[in-house]
Chain A
């Protein structure tokens, strides 16, 4: 196999990458748009991820007690989590008015404080009613709104319970019973109110709390997404584009061998993908984005990540070759490659976290080799995983690359023969 023709293919396609605006868009601009959207919209630099809900309150309570409708409104207004306000409170005069705003998507929830709420709170034999409506401003925030509002009110109810117990115990202490009996009574009532001494602490892995690592996760995700749609696309049109352009026959009338053509085609696409990868990583780690990605060319573990990336690109192109079996035109192959690539990058944990996917969809990631290579690269470059934990992944990634590459080459040979003979 001669090197000169292979290098010529690489130079030819690099010129395409530089000169064709569509190529620049899909290879660099599109993934960068996603990276910047993540950096400035989904994980903004100033925010800490706390969500502020818009809450409408209708206060019908005119009780003159310490804890009445007005003080409840203040509690909601002042509620904080990690130093950030939890609610943006807006007051309404009637239930109807508030519900209309909720229906219009202007609010995440509505709380109706009924007349007599304040008196009911201090009356130990009465239940203080609060009517709550949970909605959401966006479909994505519905579950979050519900959890936060209900969780907050449950906690509030719990606090009231303890206050009532405290009052009751104070009253009991005035009765003429022994200290032991008082103590037993106190403990029993508290036990009835709170049978479970549950302590819940949220311990997030350090890596997820770090915005830079989150951005690193998404930067590698954007690269993976680009691998998928561009790799599928370029793999699918490698032969048919030469045929439609009228260059395939000219190529094979020269001393070029089939092996040189395929090596040239594959390596030129691979080079294009890796250059684009480098650009995306550089932009990702730049101060403009601030992603945490560690890539030291002298570190053998990092080189393993590069090898995984190369495998990811080769796997995508090989799958593209298989797409060429069902799509016989550049337009068809290109469309199918792009749509499938985007779809799979969204559902296999490459762009969106796998945890967001329903259980059956997660199976796709288990059987989809490009997802393995992206995830393994991510673990090394973003989370600095120990190499020992990657032995099984390496075996899976390298062997699947070899198998799919062999299938792709067989497909291409068949395609070349078919097109040359037609």
Chain B
């Protein structure tokens, strides 16, 4: 495989839908053989960006190079494989027939691709899906089938938009293992997700995108070091006192966030701040069910940078 040093080079990519800005001067570089993960909430512009990288949509301005070529050139697309967020399956075809159809669009040998797809289904433990009509699949099975469609093609660059959405934790792990295997085979992976643990477990580098803007990119630890605090206090008050706890703690600390029934306090000195927090809450008569000190995640990075959650 003749690989170029940089798999994707995007410079000042902007995309406007009428007057709505979907992407605002996005620039980044993805090196060959790395897993580059975009994290951002729904509507951040990830899918638009992926459509441009996959050669489906033209940017309003800026330039993009994929595997050293123009993504709108079929010869470039021959080396990429794109998995859209919606499973692109024809309901009247079986999973294997869908694989055959897409393989034929690449001009690849049907037998080889079938073999590859069969192997992937076996690795995922769902070989029985091969002969099942796509219309008979559950949402999760459809997602698995589309992952097989995307991975069966021996592509240099995999563009995967939310590949694990709708999968149960066990299946997610199997899919992530498959992706790791692909990286070992020197494929470059460009992935979009809003699941931080997935990004942290797989990414060499992460790009944080919000409201069409790329606000930070780098290694996971690098981003945490730059934007996250050394530790996070996770306080779990009784459910009806979450908002009150958050308000009280905000009087003392700058970065306090409440969601999913807990309050997260970004702290530089957990040893000092933990007893203080307990004391403040006790003074206000707030009953704390549990309190712990944890390491920050990419979600905390995102919170720090945007003040919002990824899942908003």
Q: Is the pair A8, B105 in contact by a Cβ cutoff of 8 Å?
A: yes
Q: Is the pair A12, B77 in contact by a Cβ cutoff of 8 Å?
A: no
Contacts of A246 in B (CB 8 A): 84, 86-88
For residue B298, CB closer than 8 A to chain A, the reply is no
Q: Is the pair A255, B92 in contact by a Cβ cutoff of 8 Å?
A: no
**Within the complex, which residue of B17, B56, B101 is in contact with A12, where a contact is CB–CB below 8 Å?**
B101
For residue A249, CB closer than 8 A to chain B, the reply is yes
Question: From residue A248, how far is it (CB to closest CB) to chain B in Å?
Answer: 8
Interface string of A1-39 (1 = CB under 8 A from B): 010110110011001100110000000000000000000
How many chain B residues touch A (CB < 8 A): the figure is 34
Question: From residue B19, how far is it (CB to closest CB) to chain A in Å?
Answer: 14
Q: Is the pair B107, A253 in contact by a Cβ cutoff of 8 Å?
A: no
For residue B75, CB closer than 8 A to chain A, the reply is yes
For residue A175, CB closer than 8 A to chain B, the reply is no
**In the bound complex, CA of A109 to CA of B56 (Å):** 71
Q: Is the pair A20, B107 in contact by a Cβ cutoff of 8 Å?
A: no
For residue A250, CB closer than 8 A to chain B, the reply is yes
Contacts of B86 in A (CB 8 A): 246
Contacts of B106 in A (CB 8 A): 254-255
For residue B28, CB closer than 8 A to chain A, the reply is no
Question: B64-117: which have CB < 8 Å to A?
Answer: 74-75, 77-78, 80-82, 84, 86-93, 97, 100-102, 104-107
Known: A8-B105, A249-B82, A250-B82. A420 touches B75 (CB 8 A): no
Contacts of A5 in B (CB 8 A): 104-105, 107
Contacts of A15 in B (CB 8 A): 92-93, 97
Total inter-chain residue pairs, C-beta < 8 Å: 78
For residue A402, CB closer than 8 A to chain B, the reply is no
**In the bound complex, CA of A84 to CA of B209 (Å):** 86
Contacts of B74 in A (CB 8 A): 255-257
For residue B54, CB closer than 8 A to chain A, the reply is yes
Question: From residue A272, how far is it (CB to closest CB) to chain B in Å?
Answer: 13
Known: A15-B97, A255-B77, A422-B17. A247 touches B57 (CB 8 A): no
Interface string of B21-53 (1 = CB under 8 A from A): 000000000000000000000000000000100
Question: From residue B177, how far is it (CB to closest CB) to chain A in Å?
Answer: 24
For residue A131, CB closer than 8 A to chain B, the reply is no
**Within the complex, which residue of A2, A245, A253, A420 is in contact with B80, where a contact is CB–CB below 8 Å?**
A253
Known: A246-B86, A253-B54, A253-B82. A19 touches B92 (CB 8 A): yes
Most B CB atoms within 10 A — which of A5, A8, A254? A254
Q: Is the pair B56, A420 in contact by a Cβ cutoff of 8 Å?
A: yes
Known: A12-B90, A246-B86. A253 touches B56 (CB 8 A): yes
Chain A interface category by residue count: 20 to 34
Contacts of A2 in B (CB 8 A): 107
Known: A8-B105, A255-B107. A247 touches B58 (CB 8 A): no
For residue A251, CB closer than 8 A to chain B, the reply is yes
**In the bound complex, CA of A166 to CA of B81 (Å):** 100
For residue B256, CB closer than 8 A to chain A, the reply is no
**Within the complex, which residue of B58, B75, B80, B100 is in contact with A421, where a contact is CB–CB below 8 Å?**
B58
For residue A252, CB closer than 8 A to chain B, the reply is yes
Known: A253-B55, A253-B159, A255-B78. A245 touches B90 (CB 8 A): yes
**In the bound complex, CA of A20 to CA of B133 (Å):** 12
Known: A15-B93, A245-B90, A257-B74. A251 touches B82 (CB 8 A): no
Contacts of A245 in B (CB 8 A): 88, 90-91
Contacts of B58 in A (CB 8 A): 421
Known: A255-B78, A421-B57, A421-B58. A250 touches B102 (CB 8 A): yes
**In the bound complex, CA of A2 to CA of B102 (Å):** 14
Question: A387-422: which have CB < 8 Å to B?
Answer: 420-422
**In the bound complex, CA of A251 to CA of B89 (Å):** 11
Q: Is the pair B93, A247 in contact by a Cβ cutoff of 8 Å?
A: no
Question: From residue A299, how far is it (CB to closest CB) to chain B in Å?
Answer: 36
Interface string of A210-254 (1 = CB under 8 A from B): 000000000000000000000000000000000001110111111
Question: B135-163: which have CB < 8 Å to A?
Answer: 149, 159
Contacts of A7 in B (CB 8 A): 104
- 3 smallest beta-carbon distances between A and B, as pairs: A250-B88, A246-B86, A253-B82
Chain B positions within 8 Å of A, measured between CB atoms, are 17, 51, 54-58, 74-75, 77-78, 80-82, 84, 86-93, 97, 100-102, 104-107, 133, 149, 159
- List, sorted by A's number, 9 A–B pairs whose CB atoms are closer than 8 Å: A4-B104, A12-B101, A16-B92, A246-B87, A246-B88, A249-B56, A250-B84, A253-B82, A255-B105
Given A249-B51, A253-B77, 16 extra CB contacts under 8 A: A5-B105, A5-B107, A7-B104, A8-B105, A11-B101, A247-B89, A249-B56, A249-B82, A250-B82, A250-B88, A253-B55, A253-B56, A254-B77, A255-B74, A420-B51, A421-B57
